[in-house]
Amino acid sequence: MNKVEQGKKLFLTMAIIYMTLVLFVTLLKVVDRGVLGALVAIIRTVSNIILLYYTFKGRKWAKIILTILFSIELFLVGIKVAFSIYTAIGIINYSASIASNGLGIYTIWLSPSFNEYLKSIKN
């Protein structure tokens, strides 16, 4: 399998894992924070789906916005972890957020095969 196909499969795998974790975190927020937390999480989920789609289609602006959102979320989770007393749901939520956002940043910026895929769709 060439790097272009590997990059495409890697991105799709990352997107599926990421969205699964986001949906899991959304459910935890419903349990932990009620309807308002769920509403915010649903808006975030929809915007992430749109950004993942446009990143997959090779749009650089979507890649940049998605990375900024991943980075902001990692920063905020780090602050929450540093200054909070956790519930069990909170620990699971923060762990899933760190894992999914770290995976997203790696795939989008550091994966050679995904970058080859992006180059191939631009040509």
Tens of pLDDT along 41-99?
788 888 888 988 998 898 989 989 988 988 888 888 778 777 776 677 677 777 777 78
Is the pTM here over 0.75, yes or no?
yes
Give me the chain's average pLDDT, please: 82
The answer to whether 14 touches 113, Cβ cutoff 8 Å, is: no
How far is residue 18 from each of residues 84, 101, 121, measured CA to CA in Å?
A: 24, 8, 23
Q: Which residue has the higher pLDDT, 60 or 21?
A: 60
Percent over 70 (pLDDT), the chain? 94
Q: What is the mean pLDDT of residues 24-33?
A: 75
State the pLDDT at residue 95. Answer: 78
The maximal CA–CA distance of the chain, rounded, in angstroms, is 50
Q: Which residue has the tokens 């949906």?
A: 23
State the pLDDT at residue 54. Answer: 92
Which tokens sit at 116?
């080859």
* Residues listed for the chain: 123
State the pLDDT at residue 50. Answer: 92
Which tokens sit at 10?
């890697």
Q: Which residue has the higher pLDDT, 92 or 4?
A: 4
